[in-house]
Structure 1
Amino acid sequence: MTPGKPAVLFGLATLIGATLGVNAVFAQTQHAHVHGQLKLDIAVEGPTVVISMESPLDNIVGFERAPRTDAERQTVEDAAATLRAADKLFLIDPTANCKLGPVELQSAVLGWGKQATTAPADAHADLDATFAFNCTNATAAKFIDVGLFTAFKGPRQIDAQIATAQGQFQRTLKRPNARLAWGK
């Protein structure tokens, strides 16, 4: 490791932990999920951009249960691969010079992540994800082009909360608009 890298990794881990904690509180205060809508929480701090996503599983794979057929299992695998390639889904303002870092996917019904348990068959299943980007100039970012509408059929609206050193912003995207912009 290079000097300073442990501090950056610790800072990133702290930011991800704080974002997940905020998401847990936020999720507890929200109503049931709505098909076609998903939520993004974006934090731009220090050398990182962290994007947390909360979505009904139906938006991503077309159903809200464990896959039953080979075709459904393939759909889940394809969705996971698309989400893990988050640098293709979230094109951060090039002036920030960001590279994809850790990606965390969680879905109880799919057996992903810490919340992996057996969910009731009739449950409304969600998919939560955290995408971390390491940047040389994160605070220079003024927009993110979001590719979720083209990558997945289900999302029709994205509600985003963005926290940066310049302030906090709320934005809503509806098909076909894909750019989340903030600041001046």
Structure 2
Amino acid sequence: MKHIRLRRISGLAIATALFAAAPFLSAQAQQQHAHVHGQMKLDVAIDGPTVVIDMESPLDNIVGFERAPKTDAEKATVEAAVAQLRAADKLFTIDPAANCKLGPVDLRSGALGLGNPDPNEPPGHADLDATFSFNCTNAGAAKFIDLNLFSVFKGLRQIDSQIASSQGQFKRQLKRPAGAQAAQPARLSWGK
């Protein structure tokens, strides 16, 4: 009889594998995460020296429409939104204890001709997906990220988030604050 030695896998490794496997979920499971205007999904994985934020959002939340831009005004709106997303360190301020610097930013949208978009995206319901990587000297020390998404993207009303860190796995939901508070960062926090 042959003995197989199994290696212990950390919860963070499992969570990271689940985030990576998300694009391969069945069509039925993907329908459960329906394209809902006003809602954005953020998955945060803290692993080793990196913080990676995966974002899925209806394009309407970001630019106010869900197709390729047609007018000069729409093209300018798209250019401004893409510039804001590429300057992700202004949208996501990671806990200073982690000492993070923005790394690669990967934007994907079929309607905008960005990156390698999801080929199964239904027509008329365009998304903008992104991966923001931050290189840190002490990523494990991060206990929050301040999000400037509500103040920048006016169509955004709710952020659903999953966080995988050495401190555990967490689910959080943030809603757009009312009035003047919408201009202030919303804090996505986890851990102890």
Q: 1:180 deviation in Å?
A: 0.5
Q: 1:67 deviation in Å?
A: 0.3
What are the ranges of 5 or more consecutive residues in structure 2 without an aligned counterpart? Answer: 1-14, 178-184
Which of 91, 96, 99 pairs up with 2:98? Answer: 96
Q: Aligned Cα RMSD in Å?
A: 2.4
For the residues of structure 2 that align with 1:99 and 1:18, how far apart are their CA atoms? 25
What are the ranges of 5 or more consecutive residues in structure 1 without an aligned counterpart? Answer: 1-14
Q: 1:25 deviation in Å?
A: 2.9
Of 25-34 and 124-133, deviating more is 25-34
For the residues of structure 1 that align with 2:30 and 2:49, how far apart are their CA atoms? 29
For the residues of structure 1 that align with 2:68 and 2:132, how far apart are their CA atoms? 23
Is 1:22 the equivalent of 2:30? no
TM-score relative to the length of structure 1: 0.84
**1:60-95 deviation digits (Å, cap 9, x = unpaired):** 000000000000001000000000000000000000
- For the Cα contact (< 8 Å) 2:38–2:157, is it kept in 1? yes
Query: Are the structure 2 counterparts of residues 39 and 17 from structure 1 closer, same or farther at C-alpha, using a change threshold of 3 Å?
Result: same
Which of 52, 55, 65 pairs up with 2:54? Answer: 52
Secondary structure in 1 matching 2:90: helix
Partner of 1:112: 114
Query: Are the structure 2 counterparts of residues 24 and 55 from structure 1 closer, same or farther at C-alpha, using a change threshold of 3 Å?
Result: farther
Q: 1:166 deviation in Å?
A: 1.1
Larger radius of gyration, structure 1 or 2? 2
AA in 2 matched with 1:135: C
Number of corresponding residues: 169
For the residues of structure 2 that align with 1:180 and 1:51, how far apart are their CA atoms? 12
**Percent identical residues:** 69
